Chains A and B, each alone.
Chain A
Amino acid sequence: MSDGLVVLGASYAGVQIAVSARESGYEGPIAILGDEAELPYQRPPLSKGYLSGKVDDATLPLRSAGFYEEYRIKLHLGTAATAVDRRGRAVVLADGTEHRFDRLAFATGSRARTLSLPGADLDGVYTLRSLADARQLLAAMRTAERAVVVGGGYIGLEVASTLVTAGCQVTVLEASDRLLSRAAAPPLAAFVTEAHRSRGVEVVTGVQATRLLGEAGRVTSVESTDHVSRPANLVLVAAGAIPNGELAVASGLACDQTAIIVDACGRTNEPEVLAAGDCAATRQGAAVLRLESIQNATDQGRAAGKAVAGRAEEHPVVPWFWSDQYELKLQMAGLVAGYDRHVIRGRTDSGRFGIYYFRAGRLIAVDTVNKPGEHLTARKLVASPAGITPEAAADESVNLRSFLKAAQPAS
């Protein structure tokens, strides 16, 4: 009997690999190994609705326990993997058990970057990746009066919006010269910065935390390169994520630092090993592209699952992402890097608009604010070879969908 597919990691990418392998006709045993005890769960709400009380534990599981049984997917949860023996085709867990495999998939995700600063290990200093993290943060929020968020990316800003809405005084410290420096272009970042400032968040850019001070083991203030000491009884470190590719590196797979290099079908440089999600990256010419998003975890996971079933196929996708802050639904379609022109569709002061980014006249990305329907159209426009001109995109009297019909008569 075959040893089957072993998936390391029990979140979006891991579950999707297993489900897609099964749905694509893979008949061997499938096991998902995860270090957290909970059934695989949704992560986006952890920095959004879970902290504001709109989302509770019962709605978090990605699938019910019965679903995995129906799909003949075995879950081994609550124990971390400690080694991968590729030659011996086995994964070793922290409790000493071994799981043998024919095919192995890494879906090990990423972990929060921590600060290597004096005081970073004080109580009251948090990071946010897992449900356990979110529960701790939620408990701390009940008594938080002054918070410092280190890092002005999406997770930091989502938590900042919840904290300030709950009546906490909030400072966001961002080391680069603007918010969302890795994740969004300046036009959207400027709008988001203003949204936070107008609601009372102190946004400080170009400044790094240097030291965390505490009393009796609990954080009391944060010092930074602007020579200011800000009182804080809650500190969230939201300074990016590191891919969990160490076991892959140790097992000899091709990696870029700790990101596992895969092709468009989720295959690594070893035929029996796949990878998907936050821990995986693709080569784009000389550059390496790694995306941290549900969409990427799902699409890469789907591709890898199909490859397991012998149905590898390249399927071009438009990356997309969303963030909820205050009453703002921010949605990003496409990759904005390298744009040379942008136009605004609608009025930014209305709180409902789109930003269209072009490179050499071609639409490459669209950010929308409180326009979920337009976001869906934008994803198709970015994928469409016919595209749209900047002039048409900026003209609200122009029906965007008419460009899709012209470009895709068959669909």
Chain B
Amino acid sequence: MPEVTYVATDGSERKVEVPQGRSVMHGAIQNGVRGIEAECGGVLSCATCHVYVDPEWVDRLDPPSEDEEDMLSNTAAERRPGSRLSCQIEVTDDLNGLRVQIPETQS
């Protein structure tokens, strides 16, 4: 199963196996990774599952949709080049080893 590493603001890391086809958000919620709220459950309604994708991974993801793009301009924590909504990143074998950082706040 692909493994995703979530890096907290204090630098601590949490590695989680996420089933293929599930989202990076799902992996965080089901494993109690702190700092990802996902208030709307992953339907592009709240922007509280914001993450910073590590630079080496950014280009290996499908680019954000127009709606996600618009929402990324409205996140609670500042937008950076690797900003994504983790509900929109579907985990595949190709993403085994993906690293994402959790922002300081979601709301």
Chain A residues close to B by CB (< 8 Å):
42, 44-45, 48-49, 59, 61-64, 66-67, 70-71, 294-295, 298, 322, 324, 329, 331, 370-377, 380, 401
Contact = CB atoms under 8 A, between A and B. Distances in A.
Contact of A64 (B30, B42, B73): B30
Interface stretch (B1-9, B43-51, B52-60, B93-101): B43-51
B31 A376 contact: no
Nearest to A69: B32
Contact of A294 (B40, B47, B70): B40
Specify which of B31, B40, B69, B73 lies most central, judged by the most chain A CB atoms within 10 Å of its CB.
Answer: B40
B70 A64 contact: no
A373 B70 contact: yes
A329 B45 contact: yes
B103 to A, nearest CB: 14
Contacts of A298: 39
Contacts of A295: 39
* Closest 8 pairs between A and B when the two form their complex, measured CB to CB: A373-B70, A376-B74, A67-B32, A322-B45, A64-B30, A42-B41, A373-B71, A372-B67
6 contacts: A44-B43, A63-B30, A64-B31, A67-B32, A372-B70, A373-B69
Contact of A59 (B26, B44, B69): B26
Nearest to B31: A64
Contacts of A63: 29-30, 32
Interface SS of A by simple majority = helix
A185 B39 CA distance: 25
B22 interface: yes
Main secondary structure of the interface of B (DSSP, over half): loop
A223 B106 CA distance: 49
A373 B32 contact: no
A44 B40 contact: yes
B53 to A, nearest CB: 19
Contacts, number: 60
A377 B43 contact: no
Contacts of B31: 64, 66-67
B36 to A, nearest CB: 11
A346 to B, nearest CB: 13
Contacts of B69: 373
Name the residue in B42, B43, B69, B73 with the highest tally of chain A Cβ atoms < 10 Å from its Cβ.
B43
Given A45-B43, A64-B32, A66-B31, 19 more contacts: A42-B41, A49-B43, A59-B26, A63-B30, A63-B32, A64-B31, A295-B39, A322-B40, A322-B45, A329-B43, A329-B45, A331-B45, A372-B70, A373-B67, A373-B71, A376-B47, A376-B71, A377-B74, A401-B73
A71 B32 CA distance: 9
B106 to A, nearest CB: 12
Contacts of A44: 40-41, 43
A59 B74 contact: no
A70 B32 contact: yes
B39 A373 contact: no
A170 to B, nearest CB: 23
A345 to B, nearest CB: 14
Contact of B43 (A322, A380, A401): A322
B39 A294 contact: yes
Given A64-B31, A295-B39, A329 B73 contact: no
Contacts of A329: 43-45
A331 B26 CA distance: 23
Given A373-B69, A376-B74, A59 B22 contact: yes
Contacts of B30: 61, 63-64
Contacts of B74: 373, 376-377, 380, 401
Contacts of B26: 59
A45 B41 contact: yes
Nearest to B30: A64
A63 B31 CA distance: 7
A399 to B, nearest CB: 11
Interface string B11-45: 00000000000100010011110000001111111
Contacts of B73: 373, 401
A294 B43 CA distance: 13
A176 B30 CA distance: 42
A259 B74 CA distance: 35
A377 B26 CA distance: 25
B32 A66 contact: yes
A295 B67 CA distance: 21
